[in-house]
Amino acid sequence: MSVVKSATAFAELMAEARQTVALGQVMGRLGWDQETVMPRGSADQRGDEMAAMEGVLHARLSDPRLGALLDAAEASDAAGAAQLRELNRSHARAVKVPSALAQEIARTTSVAQGTWAQARAAEDVAAFLPTLAEVVRLKREEASALAQGGDLYDAMVDDYEPGMTGADIAAMFGEMRPRLVALRDKIMGAANPPQALSGAYSADSQMRLARDLATTFGYDWSRGRMDIAVHPFSSGSGNDVRITTRVAEADPFNCFYSTIHEVGHACYEQNVDPDYLLTPIGKGVSMGVHESQSRIYENQLGRSRAFTGWLYTQMRERFGEFGIASAEAFYGTVNRVQPGYIRTESDEVQYNLHIMMRFDLERALISGDLQVGDLEAAWNDRFKADFGVAVDRPSHGMLQDVHWSVGLFGYFPTYSLGNLYAGCLHQALRHDLPDLDRDLASGKLTSATDWLREKVQRHGALYTPRDLITQAIGKAPTAAPLLDHLETKFSEIYAL
């Protein structure tokens, strides 16, 4: 029997969806609280709370009544069609995953986050492995339900980058790796590398400058706040978007560029068209596109010669003379390529090599080719092979990232996809704004951030990820603009 399409059904569907999205935001706030101010002793209770919220959300998304409304709803415009696309996607996913499994994943990953943080602080891999093994087991079970006989890892990736597969990612990395490794090797052989930063920089002064940087990049403090977290992140959407950063007195760049990175995420969410607020398209369309915003804010804008000239002046005003003789030398210091363990502190040249390593390891974990008990050794061996340095402690190795503890398998590749998209967007941005460096040198980001808001951010999830980027740049995205940019930039810095 044919279903009669109805605008009334669409209106009813959207009313239901707004409540579901609002409840999802509440659950997200619980996650923010857990990573910032929650008492340590609350972890088990918070796990039960997260499981309860997941149960409510799962019941709403898998409700047969929602399916009937989706069958009957008729969209009147492109935005409505996009709402139906996203709702159909979330409903189809929810009906494949048993509610009990969804709740157990929410409970386990909530508690696992605290277990990971304690193990990381204690440099104790053994304390984390049983929890990680349970997370992997649950996520493989979930992926099996979603894949329905297909590739488990593909099902995981699709959660974060719709339409992307493990094979697509492997092909992307196969294209990127040779040029990145060749550039890295040339840089490491350069005769006169930039000067490293030294000294101590007070935490309070770092945080004051970090707040000013967030403002400079367009963060709306009336709808957000900044706190400290072990692993910086952005949380929320619409009118409540929160960021975190971290502080190390010997490394202010960690604080400054983590802040700029998270502001990129936050501005994407704050700048989505207000008409989409608390709807399925009132959010970033994918993690790859999300990362394109954070990475272009952090790297192509924040680490540019023009902007670092302005930042150099700011640092001298706030910290006094700190051993870097000129703005040009400071530009080299900010972009210094050096061996390092930590992905989030990595330079632009080596960053994607970190992601490639994680992609291979987690893909092997999910396929069963790598066991959780063997992960530390596999990580350390691969890191030594890829970066030429032996891992000295677990917090510099497999315990450095929060992602696996909270079940984010398939997420890591979106960082590199975001870098690829950012390279394409930067090329188009420079074409449209030939005087951009003049603004950046004055600490004015509005021309660049307005361009990104208009081309990307305001659309939310109106378009599919690849269509959004293609529309923004006028052609299909490729890795070439990013790789060309890196080779030009670092050849100049290192006189290659």
> Which amino acids are annotated catalytic?
262
Question: What is the Cα–Cα distance from 490 to 485, expressed in whole angstroms?
Answer: 8
Task: Give the tokens for residue 371.
Answer: 């066991």
Q: Residue 5 in 3-state DSSP? A: coil
Give the CA angle between residues 385, 390, 395 to the nearest 5°.
115
Q: How far is CA 97 from CA 8, 55, 84, 366, 466, in A?
A: 29, 11, 20, 17, 27
Question: What is the Cα–Cα distance from 422 to 290, expressed in whole angstroms?
Answer: 10
Question: What is the Cα–Cα distance from 230 to 357, expressed in whole angstroms?
Answer: 22
Q: Residue 455 in 3-state DSSP? A: helix
Q: Please, which residues have CB within 8 angstroms of residue 193's CB and are 6 or more apart in sequence?
A: 187, 336, 337, 338, 494
Q: Please tell me what DSSP assigns to residue 400.
A: S
> How far apart are the two ends of the chain, measured CA to CA in Å?
70
Question: What is the Cα–Cα distance from 493 to 171, expressed in whole angstroms?
Answer: 30
Task: Give the tokens for residue 288.
Answer: 């790859």
Count of CB atoms situated within 10 Å of the CB of 245: 26
Distance of CA 205 to the CA centre of its chain: 26
Query: Which H, E and C letters describe 307-347, residue by residue?
Result: HHHHHHHHHHHHHCCCCCCCHHHHHHHHCCCCCCCCHHHCC
Question: What is the Cα–Cα distance from 272 to 281, expressed in whole angstroms?
Answer: 9
Radius of gyration over alpha carbons of the chain, in Å?
Answer: 23
416: amino acid identity, one letter: S
Q: How far is CA 6 from CA 17, 70, 73, 239, 375, in A?
A: 17, 10, 5, 31, 53
